Amino acid sequence: MDLDLVTRHLEDGICTLTVNRPDKLNALNQQTLQALDQAFAEAAADQRVRVVVLTGAGAKAFVAGADISQMNQLTPVQGRDFSLLGQQLMRRIEGLGKPVIARINGFALGGGLELAMACHLRIAADTAKLGQPEINLGLIPGFGGSQRLLRLAGRAATLELCLLGAPISASRAQALGIVNEVVPADALDARVAELAAQLAKAAPLALRAILDCVLVGGECALEQALQFESTQFGLVFATADMREGTAAFLERRQPEFAGQ
C-alpha cells in the first residue's frame, strides 16, 4: 500500500484510514482505490481492529470524487475496469464485518459520496456538500452510486441527485436518509470519536451478525431474511461474549467483550 495515499492510525481498537491527497481534494484515482482496498483488507484481518473511521485529509474534502484527469484518458474497456475496481472497494467496505464510520468533513461528491454510502454510518459536518454530479461530465455514477443511493434515499431523491447533478447540503442529506447525523464542523472529531469508542467496546461478533443481517436482508425476500436473522441469532448463543453480556446485565456491571 502506498502510505502517501492512505494513512492508517490504530488506537484503542479504532483504525482511522485517511485518504491523503489534499492537493487533489482526495480524488480517487486507480492507485488510491487500490491503496484503500488493501487498507480495508488489512483492517478486516487485524484482530485488534474493532471499528474503522474513514475520512479525507484537509479541511475541504472527504473525497471530492473520482480523479477526472485520469478518467479523461480511459478507453471504454478501461472505464469499465475502473468502475469494477471502485465497486470492489465499496463491496469490501460494505461487507467488512466491522463497523465503518464515514467522517464527512467536506465535499463528498461522485465517487466520494459512493465511498461514504458504502460505510455503515455517516457523520457529516454542517459545512459538507454531497452529491452525484457525474451527469455534468457526461458520465453516470460508476462505483455503485445509483444503487446505494436508491436504497438509502429512494427513487425520487436518486433521480434528482443523479439527473440534476447539483450538490446538496448536509442537512438535506440527513433529511433524505443519506447521512445519519450532522454536527457543527468543530464538533465533528469529538462526535465521531464518541461513536467509534462506543462501537469499539461492543461485542464484535454480534456487530458482525447485525451487519450481515442488514446486508443480506436488504437483497432478498422477507422470509429468507427472517430465516437468516434467526440463524445468526442462534449462532451468537455460542459466543463467550453473549454469556458475558447477559451475565453483566444480571450482575449490574459493564460487560467486557473479547470477541469470542
- Residue among 11, 42, 134, 194 flagged as catalytic: 134
Annotated active-site residue 229? The verdict is no
Cell of 159: 433521480
- Residue among 42, 114, 223, 229 flagged as catalytic: 114
Q: How far apart are CA 102 and CA 122, in angstroms?
A: 5
Q: How far apart are CA 77 and CA 68, in angstroms?
A: 17
Q: Report the DSSP beta bridge partners of residue 182.
A: 124
Q: How far apart are CA 245 and CA 56, in angstroms?
A: 35
Annotated active-site residue 160? The verdict is no
Amino acid (one-letter) located at 225: A
CB contact burial 39-73 (16+ within 10 A = b; e otherwise): bbeebeeeeebbbbbbbbbbeebbbbbbbeebbee
Is beta strand 121-125 parallel, antiparallel or unpaired with respect to 100-104? Answer: parallel
The rounded Cα 132 to chain-centroid distance in angstroms is 16
Question: Which residues are identified as catalytic?
Answer: 114, 134
